Amino acid sequence: MDISLKNVEKTFMQTKVEVAALRGVDLEIPSGEFVVVLGPSGSGKSTLLNVMGGLDSVSAGEISIGGKDIASRSEKGLLAFRRDNLGFIFQQYYLLSTLTVAENVETGAYGAKDAHSPLEALRMVLLEEHADKYPFELSGGEQQRVAIARALVKKPKILFCDEPTGSLDEKTGKEVLKLLANIHADLRTTIVLVTHNKAIASIADRVVTLTSGEIVADHQNDKRVSPDEIHWH
Amino acid sequence: MRSTGIRIHFLHAWRFMKKRWLSFLLLGVLLFASGFVYTTMAESIAAIRDASEAYFEETNQEDFSIEVSDRLTASEKEHVRDVCGLQTTETLSALSSADSSCHEDILSSRKETLIQVFTGVSLEARLFMDIPLFRDDGNHRMRILNDADSINKSHIEEGNKPLSSGEIAILGNYARANDIALEDEFVVQGETFIVTGFVLFPDYNLPVFDHPFLFDSTKQTLALMSDEDFAMFDAPKRAYFAGVLEEVSASELEGMFDQAAFLTAPFLENLTLTENNMRSGAIYAEIEGGHAFALIVAAFIALLGLLIIVLSLLKTLRANSRPFGVLKALGVPDNALIFPFLALIGIFALLFLLLGFLAGQFAAHPMQDIFRDFYLLPEGKIRFRVVTLVIALALPLTLLLGLSFVVMKRLLGKRPVALIHPALTEWAKGGLKRFRIGSWRLSFLVRMQIAFIKRRPGKFAVFVVGLFGALFAGFFSFGMHDMLERTLPEYYGGTGIEVKAYTEDITFDEPAEGEKVLELSVRVNETNASLVALSEGQTLHPLKDSRGRDLTGSLAEGLVISRGFSDLSGLREGDTVEVTLAGDNLEMEITGVADIYAGSHVFATREVVAEWLFTDPSAYNVVYLSESPEVDYALLVFTDDIVEQLRDTHEIFNVFFRVLVASALFIALVVVYLLTVMLVEDHYYPLAMFKVLGYDNSIIRKILLGGYVKAALLCFVVGIPVALLAFAFTRRWMAEMYEFMVPLAITPVQVLIYFALFLATLFLGTMSAKRKIDKMSLKDALAIYQE
Ligand SMILES: Nc1ncnc2c1ncn2[C@@H]1O[C@H](COP(=O)(O)OP(=O)(O)O)[C@@H](O)[C@H]1O
Ligand SMILES: [Mg+2]
Q: Quick one: what percent of chain B has pLDDT higher than 90?
A: 16
- Predicted TM-score (pTM) of the model is 0.70
Highest mean pLDDT (candidates A71-75, A134-138, B691-695, B714-718): A134-138
Rounded to 5 degrees, what are φ and ψ at B277? -75, 135
pLDDT band, residue B49 (cuts 50/70/90) = confident
| Contact across the interface for A90 and B15, Cβ inside 8 Å | no
- Residue with CA closest to ligand 1 atom 26: A42
- Average the pLDDT over B331-344 and give the result: 91
Query: Best residue in B20, B326, B421 to probe A by mutation, most A CBs within 10 Å?
Result: B326
Give the model's pLDDT for residue B777: 65
The parent domain of residue A194 ranges over 3-229
Q: Which residue has the higher pLDDT, B19 or B741?
A: B19
Lowest mean pLDDT among B434-443, B628-637, B749-758: B434-443
Q: Residues A10-19: what's their mean pLDDT?
A: 83
ipTM of the complex: 0.93
Residues 420-439, chain B, touching A (beta carbon < 8 A): 420-421, 425
Domain count, chain A: 1
Model confidence over B110-145: pLDDT tens digits? Answer: 999 998 888 889 999 999 998 888 888 877 888 999
Q: Which residues line ion ligand 2, judged by CB < 5 Å?
A: A 46
Give the pLDDT confidence score for residue B438 in this predicted structure.
42
pLDDT at position B433 is: 41
The enclosing H or E element of B127 equals: strand B121-135
Question: CA B573, CA B53: separation in Å to the nearest integer?
Answer: 45
Q: Where are the beta strands (DSSP E) in chain A?
A: 3-14, 17-29, 34-38, 60-65, 68-69, 86-89, 158-162, 190-195, 206-211, 214-220
Q: Tell me how far apart the alpha carbons of residues B559 and B575 are, in angstroms, rounded to a whole number.
A: 10
Confidence of residue B205 (pLDDT cuts 50, 70, 90): low
Contact B8 A99 (CB under 8 A): yes
Contact A111 B328 (CB under 8 A): no
Q: Mark yes or no for CB contact A90/B5 under 8 Å.
A: no
Residue B744 has pLDDT above 70, yes or no: yes
End-to-end CA distance of chain A: 33
Choose from A16, A48, A88 for mutation: most chain B CBs within 10 A: A88
The percent of residues above 70 in pLDDT, for chain A, comes to: 99
Please tell me the distance from the alpha carbon of residue B294 to that of residue B296, in angstroms, as a whole number.
Answer: 5
Q: Give SS3 for B197.
A: strand
Is pLDDT at B305 greater than 90 in this prediction?
A: no
| Closest CB to A110 among B336, B420, B421 | B336
Over 60: is that where the pLDDT of B440 sits? no
Mutate to test the pocket of ligand 1, among A15, A46, A59 (most ligand atoms within 8 A of CB): A46
Beta-carbon separation of B420 and A79 below 8 A = no
What pLDDT, on the 0 to 100 scale, is given for residue B225? 95
* Residue B385 pLDDT greater than 90, yes or no: no
Provide mean pLDDT across the span B269-295: 68
Out of A43, A47, A210, give the residue to mutate to test ligand 1, the one with the largest number of ligand atoms within 8 Å of its CB.
A47
Q: What is the mean pLDDT of residues B410-435?
A: 62
How far is A77 from chain B, CA to nearest CA, in Å? 10
- Express each pLDDT in A46-72 by its tens digit: 999 999 999 888 999 999 999 888 878
Quick check: B426 pLDDT over 50?
Answer: no
Provide the b/e sequence for B745-755 (b: ≥16 CB within 10 Å). bbeeebbeebe
Question: For residue B251, what pLDDT is reported?
Answer: 83
- The angle at the Cα of B719, spanning B717 to B721, to the nearest 5 degrees, equals 90
Average of per-residue pLDDT values in chain B: 81
Question: For position B103, what pLDDT does the model report?
Answer: 92
Under DSSP, is residue B623 helix (H, G, I), strand (E, B) or coil? strand
Dihedral of CA B639/B641/B642/B644: which sign?
A: positive
Which residue out of B2, B3, B4 would a mutagenesis test of the A interface target, given it has the greatest number of A Cβ atoms within 10 Å? B4
Contact residues on chain B for A113, CB-CB shorter than 8 A: 3
Q: Compute the distance from residue A107 Cα to the ligand 2 centre, in Å.
A: 25
pLDDT value of residue B787 = 42
Residue B109: pLDDT band by 50, 70, 90 thresholds? Answer: very high
Domain ranges of chain B: 1-62+278-422, 70-120+249-266, 121-246, 456-485+640-787, 499-627
Q: What is the pLDDT of residue B180?
A: 93
What is residue B434's predicted lDDT score, i.e. its pLDDT? Answer: 43
Q: Are A1 and A158 in contact (CB under 8 A)?
A: yes
Q: Which ligand is nearest to the CA of A164?
A: 2
Taking the CA of residue B405 and the nearest CA in chain A, the distance in Å comes to 19
Least confident of B353-367, B463-477, B565-579: B463-477
- pLDDT grade for A208, boundaries at 50, 70 and 90: very high
Give the helix ranges, DSSP H, for B246-332: 250-258, 261-264, 278-329
Nearest CA in chain A to B787: A42
What's the rounded mean pLDDT across residues B567-579?
Answer: 85
CATH (domain of A36): 3.40.50.300
**Does B190 reach chain A within 8 Å, measured CB to CB?**
no
A111 with B3: Cβ contact below 8 A: yes
Asked if residues B264 and B239 have their Cβ atoms less than 8 Å apart, the reply is no
Element (H, E) at A44: none
DSSP string of B340-364?
Answer: HHHHHHHHHHHHHHHHHHHHHHHHH
**What confidence score (pLDDT) does residue A217 get?**
92
Neighbouring CB atoms inside 10 A of B2's CB total: 11
* Cβ A22 vs Cβ A44: under 8 Å: yes
CA of B686 to the centre of ligand 1 (A): 22
What letter does residue A203 receive in the DSSP assignment? T
Higher pLDDT residue, B707 or B443? B707
Task: Dihedral sign for Cα A103, A104, A107, A113, please.
Answer: negative
Strand order in A17-29's β-sheet?
A17-29, A3-14, A60-65, A68-69
d(Cα B408, Cα B183) in Å, to the nearest integer? 68
CA distance B319 to B327: 14
Nearest ligand, measured from the Cα of B417: 1
The residue nearest atom 5 of ligand 1, judged by CA position, is A12
A30-39, B83-92, B288-297, B591-600 — most confident range: A30-39
Give per-residue pLDDT as tens, A70-119.
878 888 888 999 999 999 999 888 899 889 999 999 999 888 888 899 99
In contact, B366 and A140? CB cutoff 8 Å? no
- CA of A42 relative to ligand 1 center, distance in Å: 6
The residue of chain A with its CA nearest to that of B419 is A55
Selection from A161-165, B17-21, B707-711 with the highest mean pLDDT: A161-165
Q: By C-alpha distance, which of A51, A10, A13, A42 is closest to B429?
A: A13
CATH 2.40.70: does it fit domain B499-627? yes
B138 sits in the region (left: phi over 0; alpha: psi -120 to 50; else beta) called left
Question: Per-residue pLDDT for B212 more than 60?
Answer: no
> What CA–CA distance (Å, rounded) separates B414 from B163?
81
Q: Give the list of residues 6+ apart from residue B224 with CB closer than 8 angstroms, or none.
A: B144, B145, B147, B154, B161, B162, B168, B169, B197, B199, B201
pLDDT number for residue B750:
82
